Amino acid sequence: MSHAENQTIRILDLMESSGVKFGTSGARGLADDMTDYVCYAYSLAFLEYLLESGQINKADGVAIAGDFRPSSPRIMAAVAKAVTDAGCAPVNCGFIPTPAVACYAMKRGIAGIMVTGSHIPDDRNGIKFYKPAGEILKPDEQAMCARS
C-alpha cells in the first residue's frame, strides 16, 4: 500500500467493487470486504480531504483507536499506514470506547479515526472518521467521494 497506489482509484469505485459503503459517520462493511487496501484508501482519502481543506496540518497527530472485534487490529494497522503516508503522525489510543477517541481528538484539535462495528453484527466492522470539530457529515463524505 502506498500513496501512489491510492491515486489510481476513486472512493466511489472502491465502494462499488468492495461493498464497503458510508454509513453513520464512516465506512462500514463485512470484515472480509474491508481489506487492508480498502481501509487504507478510505482513511487516506479522509486525511487528504482534511489537509486540502485546511482542517488539519501535517504536523498534527491523528488519533487512532479500535474496538475488540477480531478484525480491528488489522484495520487499525492499515489506518496507521494511511496516516503515515499522508505525512501525519499516528497517535495510538489503543482499544477504547468510541466517544473516548472522539473526545481526545476534539480536545486536541486533531483528526481521529475509530475502528468499530458499533452495534452491527460481528462479521462486519467500520471506520468512523472525526474532524477536529467532530464527526464527518454527508457533505464531507461527498467531498471524499469526489476525489480521484
- Catalytic center residues: 118
Locate the DSSP E strands across 6-145: 21-22, 26-30, 61-66, 89-95, 111-115, 124-131, 134-135
Tell me the C-alpha distance between 89 and 45, whole Å.
Answer: 16
The pairing of beta strand 61-66 with beta strand 111-115:
parallel
